[in-house]
Amino acid sequence: MTLTLLLDLDDTLLNTNLDSFIPAYFQSLAKELAPQIAPEKMFRALISGTRLMNESDDFSRTLEEVFNTDFYPQVNIPREELESAIENFYDNVFPTLSGLTSQKPEAKRFVNWAFTQGFRIAIATDPLLPRKATHHRLRWAGFEPEQFELVSTFDHFHFSKTHPAYYAEILGRLGWPEGPVLMVGNDMERDILPAQKLGLATYHIDGEPASRSGPEAGGRGNLQDLRLWLESTDLASLTPSFKSVDSLFGILSATPAALNGLSYDLDPLAWTNEPTPDDWSFTELICHMRDTEREIHHMQIRLFREQDEPFIPRPDTGVWASQRDYLHENGGAALKEFNDARRETLALLKDIEKNEWSRKARHAIFGPTNFLEVISFIADHDRMHTQQAWSTLKKK
C-alpha cells in the first residue's frame, strides 16, 4: 500500500525563523527595487498582495495572478518594467538569505528513508512565493526540487494553506492517489487543521518527543519520531475520509483549480491525445465534466431545493462523448465553461443550512440517500475524472 506524504518545508524540513526571515526578505527586495519603488510603497503593496493571496478562494486565478493584480497597480509600475530586477533578485540576492535558515540533518535522513519505502512525496509548502524562491529554500534544506513529485508554488496553485481546498488541489495535481495520505507540518493553523478538515491524517512536528499518536488525534513529535510512528502504524488507517461538508467543499473548489493547473502550458496535441482507443482525451474528459455539471449536478441540487424527498435521476452520460463529438471541441473553452458551471454549483450550495444536509431522497442508482451523500457522489465523480485526466496526460 503506497503512502502519499505531503511535507511542509519551513520548520518541518528546514529550520526557518519566519519572524526574522520574512522581514529580511522584504527588506532585501525593497532595497533591490528601490531605484524604481519607494520602500514604504513596496512594503504596503507586498503586505496587501500577500493578504489577498491568503484570502483568495478563486479557483480560476493562480495566487501569482491574485498578487500581481493587486501589487503592480499599487506601485504604479507595469510588471514588464520590474521583471528583470525581480528576476535578478531571486537569482542573485534571495540566495544570500540562506544564512537565516539551517538544515535539519534528521530531515534528510527521514526523506531518504521515505523514498526507500516507495512513498510518494510532495512538498506542501505554502504557495505564497515564486518557484525560484521555493526551490532555493529546498536546496538550503539539502534537497533538489526534482526529487519530489510536486512542489507547490504561487505560479501554479490557487489557494493558500489556510484553505482545505489547498490540500485537495495538491492531491488533484498528484492524480488523486488512492490509499493512505499523511500531511506533515509544524503549524496547527496552516498545516494540521485545514488538512484535517479535508479528511486527511496529520502528523504535527513540534520538536518535542512524541506525546501521542493515532490517526484520530493525529501523530505528534519530531522527525525521528515520525519514522517510528509510521513503522508502527497500520498505513490503511491513514486513508482519507471525504464525507464531511468541509471536505466536500474543499474537493468541489479544488477540482477546477487542479484541472487548470494540469492544463497550464499544455501542448495542443495533448488536449486531444487518446492513449488507447478506450481512453477519453483530456478535452473529452473536460467536456464530460462540464456537461455533467450543467445538466446533472445542477438539476440534482435544484430538486432538493424544490422537493421534500426528491427522486434523483442519473441519466447515462457515457454516450455523450461520441454523440456530442467532444473530441473536436475547443478544450480550453470547455475548461473555462466547466469553471463557470462549478462556480454556479458552489453558489447553489453555499447557503445550505446545517439541517438540510441530512434531507432524504431516493437515488436512481444508489437507492435511499440524503443530500450530503448526493453531493459526495459529485465529489467522487470529480476525483475519478481528475485521476483519469492526470493519467491521460502522463501517457501523452
Q: What percentage of the chain exceeds 70 in pLDDT?
A: 97
Q: Which CATH class is domain 4-14+102-238?
A: alpha beta
Distance CA 111, CA 137 (A): 16
Name, in order, each residue with C-beta under 8 angstroms of 96's C-beta and a sequence gap of 6 or more.
Answer: 28
Q: What grid cell was written down for 143?
A: 534537497
pTM of the model: 0.95
pLDDT band at 261 (very low <50, low <70, confident <90, very high): very high
> What are the extents of the domains in the chain?
4-14+102-238, 21-99, 263-394
pLDDT in tens, 198-217: 999 999 998 665 554 444 45
The phi, psi pair for 299, rounded to 5°, reads -60, -45
Distance CA 59, CA 255 (A): 8
Q: With left for phi above 0 and alpha for psi between -120 and 50, is residue 120 left, alpha or beta?
A: beta
The phi, psi pair for 53, rounded to 5°, reads -60, -45
pLDDT in tens, 78-104: 999 999 999 999 999 999 999 999 999
Residue 141 clears pLDDT 80, i.e. is over it: yes
Fold of 263-394: Four Helix Bundle (Hemerythrin (Met), subunit A) (1.20.120)
Q: What grid cell was written down for 369?
A: 440517500
Distance CA 236, CA 350 (A): 33
Q: Do the first three CATH levels of 4-14+102-238 and 263-394 match, i.e. the same topology?
A: no
Q: 151-177: buried (b, 16+ CB within 10 Å) or exposed (e) per residue?
A: bbbbbbbbbbbbbbbbbbbbbbbbbbb
Distance CA 303, CA 284 (A): 27
